[in-house]
Amino acid sequence: MNAARTVGSGMYAQVWTALWIYIIAPLLGMLAAAQLYVASQGLQRVLCAKLHHDNLQPCIFRCTYGARAH
């Protein structure tokens, strides 16, 4: 499955019937993986979306990373 090939062929033929799969499938895969992680590890294992907390910038996600890390 190559998104560039599908978009290129779709532009030439003006047929967009299969384009939805390239938009929906990654989103559904991401959501399914997140649900599987929470179901298997528990919600308390989800720390924060910020990758680097060891700096002077405040976390915009209002997480409790500092409280859990100590």
| DSSP secondary structure, 5-36, as one string | HHHHHHHHHT--TTTHHHHHHHHHHHHHHHHH
| Confidence at 68, pLDDT banded by 50, 70, 90 | low
pTM over 0.85: no
Domain that holds residue 46: 3-69
Q: Kindly report, residue by residue over 12-67, the tens digit of the pLDDT.
A: 888 888 788 888 998 999 999 999 999 999 988 887 888 888 888 888 887 877 66
CA angle 28, 50, 64 (to 5 degrees): 105
